[in-house]
Amino acid sequence: MAVRQALGRGLQLGRALLLRFTARPGLAYAWGRPGPAAGWGRGGRPGRAAGPSAEPGGLRLPGRYRFFRQSVAGLAARLQRQFVMRVRGAGPSGRAVFLAFGLGLGLIEEKQAEGRRAAAACQEIQAIFTQRNKLVPDPLDTRRWQGFRLEDYLIGQSIGKGCSAAVYEATMSALPQYLEKAKHVGPLPGREPDVVPQDGEVGAPGASAFPLAIKMMWNISAGSSSEAILSTMSQELVPASRVALTGEYGAVTYRKSKRGSKQLTPHPNIIRVFRAFTSSVPLLPGALADYPDMLPPSLHPEGLGHGRTLFLVMKNYPCTLRQYLHANAPSPRLATMMILQLLEGVDHLVQQGIAHRDLKSDNILVELGADGYPWLVISDFGCCLADEHVGLQLPFTSWYVDRGGNGCLMAPEVSTACPGPRAVIDYSKADAWAVGAIAYEIFGIANPFYGQGRAHLESRSYQESQLPELPEMVPMDTRHLVRALLQREASKRPSARVAANVLHLSLWGEHILALKNLKLDKMIGWLLQQSAATLLANRLVGKSCLETKLKMLFLANLECDSLCQAALLLCSWRAAP
């Protein structure tokens, strides 16, 4: 039936083309309206104009333009006559060629119509789930003009420290339900902000009493003015929420700065900064032991820091990905869904024109849902590339240009780049490469790009044949994808969106991939079924279900082209011996 319809449509198109070519050459289009061609008489032969205003619109063109026009029309007439003579004089073979021509046109037209239907369906599904995927409002948004001072917070124990900051658990009076749990730990006299004593002094409350985390940046070179701090540490503000800087002194200066830093829109797999402000550096628990050199001289005689720095308020997550994997061994299916979450977050960054450039298991936070499954969140944007002027194409004019952090997980196109007057580093697939390397850790294998020895690989020199094999228990599609993400040539590497779609199709679309004749219409039918089932599951089970959340992300980012690329990749891998 489809072939008959295509043939009929093709014959209609072919007939229309034939009529177009066999039309009387004396008929032309003047300024978009059919009518007699200027300067032509009957029979298509050149002749005198019918009147003084024979040109379109009543204009008389100079003689050289009329001659040019007549010459082109005569050439068109000759071409039309030759085409008709060849088609009519060729006999049955000519008619067969015309029939094949019509059939080809019909098939092309049918394929284009199918593609248009698929693209329209994907856009409609995407629009529905984009609205459904809106994040829960920030916990501090209900108290819009609070939380912009360090004194507003009750600070607990240290959560951790990195190469540029220390992180502490915290709560505030704007969240009375949490403050009630911690009120038995009174503030220490003479200390601002309020600081909860460490274990052994007074019984410290559990982690649930501190829903927030405060990140205190170490300020060695930014100076002590709010304007200089916000400008120098602007990368940390890329994931800041819409009201994070409201009311902060110097925020207007930051927003009007010419640095061109981008602001990242919310995503479930990317950290959100609820508040950002500058304040004097306090003496927090463990500071003298953990980072004495970063303190100002007023707090430590040998300190190198300035007296004022940047503070970021975020959600308090139980652990990092490294800590989670140290205590847990996720199943192959769960590990695949964890990789999928990272790819969804990286794809959102790429769509916003931002590169993280420091992806590692220490910079990925984990939250456990009600079902006990982990939800991954990308954090720590201190090394990111988020410049409005360059996007993901960084001019690499000298070795002084910052290529990002974490040299071990630096993509080959970044680690092997050489500076020059026209050299550019493309970061569009660099974070996806890092996800491929982190996948080894998620599947319980040592990251091949860490450590030393014969098993250690360097991104600038490794060969794809040297990559260690993932265990047989890992799904075949996931094994193929990890190797594809770690290809040296970025042009051969799938984008984060295509890679995420590969895992989505592998996880939820096994029966549609098993079809020998996979067509777009069947794919759209499957997508509609998934949409209905996901909406129903979201109402009955709730958004805490890991699979439901992932399916909603998949449908909210649905694109026909990237979905087809993912399906082709999967089919090629499964067809390979």
Tell me, what amino acid is at 70?
A: Q
Verify whether residue 152 is a known catalytic residue: no
Which tokens in the block code for residue 81? 């006559």
* Single-letter residue type at 183: K
275's enclosing H/E stretch is strand 273-280
End-to-end CA distance of the chain: 35
Per the CB < 8 A criterion, the answer to whether 88 and 43 are in contact is no
Q: Enter the CATH code of domain 150-316.
A: 3.30.200.20
Spatial neighbors of 176 by CB under 8 A, at least 6 apart, are: none
What's the confidence (pLDDT) of residue 108?
Answer: 56
How far, CA to CA in Å, does 479 sit from each of 434, 483, 547, 568? 15, 6, 21, 16
Strand order in the sheet with 153-161: 194-195, 153-161, 165-172, 212-217, 308-315, 273-280
Read off φ and ψ for residue 296, nearest 5 degrees: -70, 155
Residues 492, 504 contacting (CB under 8 angstroms): no
**Residue 340 neighbours by CB distance under 10 Å:** 26
Whether the Cβ atoms of residue 291 and residue 419 lie closer than 8 Å to each other: no
Give the Cα separation of 478 and 333 in Å (integer): 10
Give Cβ neighbours of residue 391 (< 8 Å, ≥ 6 apart). 353
Query: Among 188, 194, 152, which Cα is nearest to 173's?
Result: 152
**Alpha helical stretches, state H, 363-411:** none
Give the DSSP H or E segment for 234: none
Domain boundary assignment for the chain: 2-89, 150-316, 319-494
Tokens of 370: 């009600």
Closest Cα to residue 428, out of 398, 403, 391, 467?
391
Question: Which of 194, 358, 380, 431 is the catalytic position?
Answer: 358
Q: Are 497 and 503 within 8 A, CB to CB?
A: no
Residue type for 530, please?
Q
Residues in a beta bridge with 393? 426
Distance of CA 350 to the CA centre of its chain: 4
Q: Note the pTM of the prediction, 2 decimals.
A: 0.76
Gap between the Cα atoms of 408 and 460, Å rounded: 9
Contact 109, 13 (CB under 8 A): yes
Q: What is the mean pLDDT of each run of 10 residues along the chain (577 residues)?
A: 56 56 45 39 41 44 49 57 57 53 53 68 79 62 70 90 91 59 42 45 48 93 88 91 68 48 88 92 91 92 92 94 94 96 96 95 91 92 91 93 88 94 94 96 94 81 93 94 96 96 92 74 84 82 77 89 90 82
150-316 against 319-494: fold identical:
no
Residue from 510, 497, 518 nearest 565 by CA:
497
- Please tell me the CATH superfamily of domain 319-494, with its number: Transferase(Phosphotransferase) domain 1 (1.10.510.10)
Torsion angle of the four alpha carbons 262, 266, 268, 270, in this order, in degrees rounded to the nearest 10: 20
Say how far apart CA 518 and CA 526 lie, in whole Å.
Answer: 11
